[in-house]
Amino acid sequence: MGILNIVSTVFGAMLFPFLILMVWGKGVEERGIFGGLVMGGFIVGTSWLANHGGSPLIIQGQGAPWIDMAWAASIGIMTHGIITGGDFKKSVPTLIFAIIGGIIGGFVLFAAA
Amino acid sequence: MKRQLGTMVGGAIAGVFVFNIWGILAGTEALGDAGGWLGGLLIVGFIWTVNHYVGVIYNPEGSVSIDMATAIAVAGTMQGVFGGLPFSAALPTLLWVAVGAVLGGTFAAVVQNAIAEE
Protein backbone atom coordinates (compact mmCIF):
# COMPACT_ATOMS: atom_id res chain seq x y z
CA MET A 1 0.00 0.00 0.00
CA GLY A 2 1.26 3.46 -0.92
CA ILE A 3 1.14 6.40 1.44
CA LEU A 4 -2.02 7.82 -0.18
CA ASN A 5 -3.84 4.51 0.27
CA ILE A 6 -2.70 4.39 3.90
CA VAL A 7 -3.98 7.92 4.56
CA SER A 8 -7.44 7.18 3.13
CA THR A 9 -7.65 3.78 4.84
CA VAL A 10 -6.73 5.23 8.25
CA PHE A 11 -9.19 8.10 7.82
CA GLY A 12 -12.02 5.82 6.69
CA ALA A 13 -11.41 3.51 9.65
CA MET A 14 -11.29 6.49 12.03
CA LEU A 15 -14.58 8.08 11.00
CA PHE A 16 -16.79 5.01 11.39
CA PRO A 17 -16.30 4.19 15.11
CA PHE A 18 -16.14 7.93 15.86
CA LEU A 19 -19.62 8.49 14.37
CA ILE A 20 -21.05 5.36 16.00
CA LEU A 21 -19.76 6.37 19.43
CA MET A 22 -20.81 10.02 19.12
CA VAL A 23 -24.32 9.62 17.72
CA TRP A 24 -25.90 6.14 17.94
CA GLY A 25 -26.42 6.25 21.71
CA LYS A 26 -28.03 9.67 21.41
CA GLY A 27 -30.57 8.33 18.92
CA VAL A 28 -31.52 5.56 21.34
CA GLU A 29 -31.61 7.93 24.32
CA GLU A 30 -34.03 10.28 22.62
CA ARG A 31 -36.21 7.96 20.49
CA GLY A 32 -35.55 4.42 21.76
CA ILE A 33 -35.67 1.56 19.28
CA PHE A 34 -36.77 3.84 16.42
CA GLY A 35 -33.96 6.32 17.09
CA GLY A 36 -31.44 3.47 17.02
CA LEU A 37 -32.82 2.18 13.72
CA VAL A 38 -32.64 5.60 12.06
CA MET A 39 -29.14 6.35 13.39
CA GLY A 40 -28.04 2.91 12.21
CA GLY A 41 -29.20 3.81 8.71
CA PHE A 42 -27.50 7.17 8.62
CA ILE A 43 -24.21 6.21 10.27
CA VAL A 44 -23.68 2.85 8.61
CA GLY A 45 -25.25 3.71 5.25
CA THR A 46 -23.32 6.93 4.79
CA SER A 47 -20.05 5.53 6.13
CA TRP A 48 -20.45 2.54 3.81
CA LEU A 49 -20.70 4.88 0.81
CA ALA A 50 -17.48 6.59 1.91
CA ASN A 51 -15.56 3.44 2.82
CA HIS A 52 -16.82 0.86 0.32
CA GLY A 53 -18.69 2.90 -2.32
CA GLY A 54 -17.60 4.31 -5.69
CA SER A 55 -14.29 5.79 -4.52
CA PRO A 56 -13.59 3.75 -1.39
CA LEU A 57 -11.48 5.14 1.45
CA ILE A 58 -10.59 1.68 2.80
CA ILE A 59 -8.30 0.16 0.17
CA GLN A 60 -8.53 -3.63 -0.16
CA GLY A 61 -5.53 -5.86 -0.89
CA GLN A 62 -5.30 -7.56 -4.29
CA GLY A 63 -6.58 -11.12 -4.15
CA ALA A 64 -7.11 -10.61 -0.42
CA PRO A 65 -10.03 -11.56 1.79
CA TRP A 66 -12.38 -8.63 2.43
CA ILE A 67 -11.57 -6.21 5.23
CA ASP A 68 -14.90 -4.63 6.08
CA MET A 69 -15.28 -1.31 7.88
CA ALA A 70 -16.87 -3.45 10.61
CA TRP A 71 -13.27 -4.20 11.70
CA ALA A 72 -12.95 -0.48 12.46
CA ALA A 73 -16.20 -0.41 14.44
CA SER A 74 -15.17 -3.49 16.41
CA ILE A 75 -11.68 -2.25 17.32
CA GLY A 76 -12.72 1.39 17.80
CA ILE A 77 -15.60 0.57 20.16
CA MET A 78 -13.32 -1.73 22.21
CA THR A 79 -10.68 1.01 22.38
CA HIS A 80 -13.30 3.48 23.58
CA GLY A 81 -14.52 1.00 26.21
CA ILE A 82 -11.01 0.46 27.57
CA ILE A 83 -10.21 4.20 27.66
CA THR A 84 -13.45 5.00 29.49
CA GLY A 85 -12.68 2.47 32.21
CA GLY A 86 -14.50 -0.67 31.09
CA ASP A 87 -13.40 -4.05 32.47
CA PHE A 88 -11.89 -5.93 29.51
CA LYS A 89 -11.59 -9.23 31.41
CA LYS A 90 -15.39 -9.38 31.72
CA SER A 91 -15.63 -8.99 27.93
CA VAL A 92 -13.35 -11.85 26.92
CA PRO A 93 -16.06 -14.58 26.77
CA THR A 94 -18.31 -12.36 24.63
CA LEU A 95 -15.36 -11.48 22.39
CA ILE A 96 -14.53 -15.17 21.89
CA PHE A 97 -18.13 -16.18 21.16
CA ALA A 98 -18.60 -13.21 18.81
CA ILE A 99 -15.52 -14.40 16.86
CA ILE A 100 -16.87 -17.98 16.78
CA GLY A 101 -20.20 -16.63 15.53
CA GLY A 102 -18.32 -14.69 12.85
CA ILE A 103 -16.42 -17.80 11.73
CA ILE A 104 -19.70 -19.75 11.50
CA GLY A 105 -21.23 -16.87 9.53
CA GLY A 106 -18.19 -16.78 7.24
CA PHE A 107 -18.51 -20.48 6.54
CA VAL A 108 -22.22 -20.19 5.78
CA LEU A 109 -21.44 -17.32 3.38
CA PHE A 110 -18.75 -19.43 1.71
CA ALA A 111 -21.18 -22.33 1.46
CA ALA A 112 -23.85 -20.09 -0.09
CA ALA A 113 -21.58 -18.46 -2.66
CA MET B 1 -23.52 -19.87 28.81
CA LYS B 2 -27.04 -19.30 27.50
CA ARG B 3 -26.21 -15.63 27.06
CA GLN B 4 -23.12 -16.58 25.05
CA LEU B 5 -25.29 -18.80 22.82
CA GLY B 6 -27.02 -15.53 21.97
CA THR B 7 -23.67 -13.85 21.23
CA MET B 8 -22.71 -16.67 18.87
CA VAL B 9 -26.06 -16.96 17.08
CA GLY B 10 -26.66 -13.20 16.91
CA GLY B 11 -23.13 -12.64 15.61
CA ALA B 12 -23.44 -15.34 12.95
CA ILE B 13 -26.78 -13.98 11.73
CA ALA B 14 -25.38 -10.43 11.59
CA GLY B 15 -22.42 -11.60 9.48
CA VAL B 16 -24.58 -13.58 7.07
CA PHE B 17 -27.16 -10.79 6.71
CA VAL B 18 -24.54 -8.12 5.99
CA PHE B 19 -22.60 -10.02 3.35
CA ASN B 20 -25.43 -11.98 1.80
CA ILE B 21 -27.93 -9.12 1.47
CA TRP B 22 -25.79 -5.99 1.03
CA GLY B 23 -24.55 -7.16 -2.37
CA ILE B 24 -28.14 -7.48 -3.60
CA LEU B 25 -28.96 -3.90 -2.54
CA ALA B 26 -25.69 -2.37 -3.77
CA GLY B 27 -25.83 -4.33 -7.02
CA THR B 28 -29.34 -3.24 -7.96
CA GLU B 29 -29.02 -1.03 -11.04
CA ALA B 30 -32.22 0.92 -10.40
CA LEU B 31 -30.96 1.97 -6.97
CA GLY B 32 -27.28 2.53 -7.80
CA ASP B 33 -25.14 3.62 -4.86
CA ALA B 34 -28.31 4.49 -2.94
CA GLY B 35 -28.83 0.72 -2.66
CA GLY B 36 -25.61 0.50 -0.67
CA TRP B 37 -26.85 3.24 1.64
CA LEU B 38 -30.07 1.30 2.24
CA GLY B 39 -27.99 -1.60 3.54
CA GLY B 40 -27.22 0.46 6.62
CA LEU B 41 -30.88 0.91 7.42
CA LEU B 42 -32.38 -2.39 6.30
CA ILE B 43 -29.60 -4.71 7.48
CA VAL B 44 -27.54 -3.06 10.19
CA GLY B 45 -30.39 -1.00 11.65
CA PHE B 46 -32.52 -4.11 11.91
CA ILE B 47 -29.91 -6.55 13.21
CA TRP B 48 -28.73 -3.89 15.69
CA THR B 49 -32.18 -3.95 17.32
CA VAL B 50 -31.79 -7.71 17.74
CA ASN B 51 -28.20 -7.77 18.96
CA HIS B 52 -27.83 -4.57 20.95
CA TYR B 53 -31.26 -3.06 21.63
CA VAL B 54 -32.78 -6.36 22.76
CA GLY B 55 -29.37 -7.58 23.90
CA VAL B 56 -28.91 -10.93 22.15
CA ILE B 57 -25.14 -10.27 22.23
CA TYR B 58 -24.19 -10.39 25.90
CA ASN B 59 -22.45 -7.27 27.23
CA PRO B 60 -22.34 -7.44 31.04
CA GLU B 61 -22.55 -4.27 33.15
CA GLY B 62 -19.19 -2.50 33.46
CA SER B 63 -17.50 -4.52 30.73
CA VAL B 64 -15.90 -3.22 27.56
CA SER B 65 -18.69 -3.37 24.96
CA ILE B 66 -18.19 -5.98 22.27
CA ASP B 67 -20.05 -4.75 19.20
CA MET B 68 -21.72 -7.06 16.68
CA ALA B 69 -19.27 -5.49 14.22
CA THR B 70 -16.70 -7.96 15.59
CA ALA B 71 -18.69 -10.92 14.26
CA ILE B 72 -19.52 -9.09 11.02
CA ALA B 73 -15.85 -8.25 10.42
CA VAL B 74 -14.71 -11.83 11.07
CA ALA B 75 -17.49 -13.25 8.85
CA GLY B 76 -16.55 -11.02 5.89
CA THR B 77 -12.88 -11.91 6.11
CA MET B 78 -13.42 -15.62 6.79
CA GLN B 79 -15.75 -15.95 3.79
CA GLY B 80 -12.72 -15.20 1.63
CA VAL B 81 -10.36 -17.34 3.71
CA PHE B 82 -12.72 -20.37 3.41
CA GLY B 83 -12.77 -19.65 -0.32
CA GLY B 84 -8.98 -20.06 -0.45
CA LEU B 85 -7.77 -16.42 -0.39
CA PRO B 86 -4.60 -15.91 1.69
CA PHE B 87 -5.26 -14.04 4.95
CA SER B 88 -1.78 -12.52 4.75
CA ALA B 89 -2.82 -10.49 1.68
CA ALA B 90 -5.38 -8.65 3.83
CA LEU B 91 -2.94 -7.80 6.63
CA PRO B 92 -1.77 -4.37 5.38
CA THR B 93 -5.39 -3.16 5.07
CA LEU B 94 -6.28 -4.67 8.44
CA LEU B 95 -3.28 -3.05 10.14
CA TRP B 96 -4.11 0.45 8.90
CA VAL B 97 -7.81 -0.04 9.62
CA ALA B 98 -6.83 -0.93 13.20
CA VAL B 99 -4.73 2.24 13.47
CA GLY B 100 -7.65 4.37 12.24
CA ALA B 101 -10.08 2.56 14.55
CA VAL B 102 -7.94 3.21 17.64
CA LEU B 103 -7.78 6.89 16.65
CA GLY B 104 -11.55 7.07 16.11
CA GLY B 105 -12.35 5.40 19.45
CA THR B 106 -9.89 7.66 21.25
CA PHE B 107 -11.15 10.85 19.59
CA ALA B 108 -14.74 9.95 20.51
CA ALA B 109 -13.79 9.39 24.18
CA VAL B 110 -11.94 12.73 24.31
CA VAL B 111 -14.70 14.72 22.60
CA GLN B 112 -17.49 13.11 24.68
CA ASN B 113 -15.56 13.96 27.80
CA ALA B 114 -15.14 17.56 26.68
CA ILE B 115 -18.87 17.87 25.85
CA ALA B 116 -19.81 16.40 29.24
CA GLU B 117 -17.57 18.88 31.05
CA GLU B 118 -19.31 21.91 29.58
Please give, one letter per residue, the 3-state secondary structure of B29-78: CCCCHHHHHHHHHHHHHHHHHHHHHCCCCCCCCCECCCCCHHHHHHHHHH
Distance from CA of B118 to the nearest CA of A (A): 16
pLDDT at A31: 94
Using a CB-CB cut-off of 8 Å, the residues of chain B touching A107 are: 78, 82
pTM of the predicted model, to two decimals?
A: 0.95
- The answer, yes or no, to whether residue B26 has pLDDT greater than 90, is no
Using a CB-CB cut-off of 8 Å, the residues of chain B touching A50 are: none
Average pLDDT of the segment spanning A17-44: 94
pLDDT at B106: 98
pLDDT at B32: 80
pLDDT at B13: 97
Distance from CA of B47 to the nearest CA of A (A): 9
Using a CB-CB cut-off of 8 Å, the residues of chain B touching A22 are: 108, 111-112
Contact A21 B65 (CB under 8 A): no
Average pLDDT of the segment spanning A32-61: 94
Using a CB-CB cut-off of 8 Å, the residues of chain B touching A26 are: none
**Do B68 and A98 touch, CB atoms closer than 8 A?**
yes
pLDDT band at B91 (very low <50, low <70, confident <90, very high): very high
Comparing alpha-carbon positions, the chain A residue that sits nearest to B91 is A61
Using a CB-CB cut-off of 8 Å, the residues of chain B touching A30 are: none
Interface probe, candidates A1, A5, A8, A10, chain B, greatest B C-beta count within 10 A: A10
pLDDT at A113: 78
Task: Please give the backbone phi and psi of residue A87, each rounded to the nearest 5 degrees, phi first.
Answer: -90, 105
Nearest-by-Cβ selection for A106 from B8, B15, B111: B15
Q: Which residues contact A66 (CB under 8 A, 6 or more apart)?
A: A60, B19, B76, B77, B79, B80, B90
**Do A38 and A27 touch, CB atoms closer than 8 A?**
yes
pLDDT at B28: 82
ipTM: 0.95
**Do B110 and A84 touch, CB atoms closer than 8 A?**
no
pLDDT digits (tens, 9 = 90+) for B32-42: 888 899 999 99
pLDDT band at B19 (very low <50, low <70, confident <90, very high): very high
Percent of chain A surpassing pLDDT 90: 96
- The answer, yes or no, to whether residue A29 has pLDDT greater than 90, is yes
pLDDT at B33: 84
CA distance B10 to A48: 21
Residue among A67, A33, A54, A45 at smallest CA distance from B89: A67
pLDDT at B12: 98
Contact A76 B105 (CB under 8 A): yes
pLDDT at B83: 96
- The answer, yes or no, to whether residue B23 has pLDDT greater than 90, is no
Work out the angle between the directed axes of helices B91-117 and A3-19 (0-180°, nearest 10): 40
- The answer, yes or no, to whether residue B114 has pLDDT greater than 90, is yes
**Within 13 Å, how many C-alpha atoms sit on residue B94's CB side?**
15
Mean model confidence pLDDT for chain A: 96
Contact B45 A12 (CB under 8 A): no
pLDDT at A51: 96
Residue A5 CB-density burial (10 A; 0-12 exposed, 13-18 middle, 19+ buried):
middle
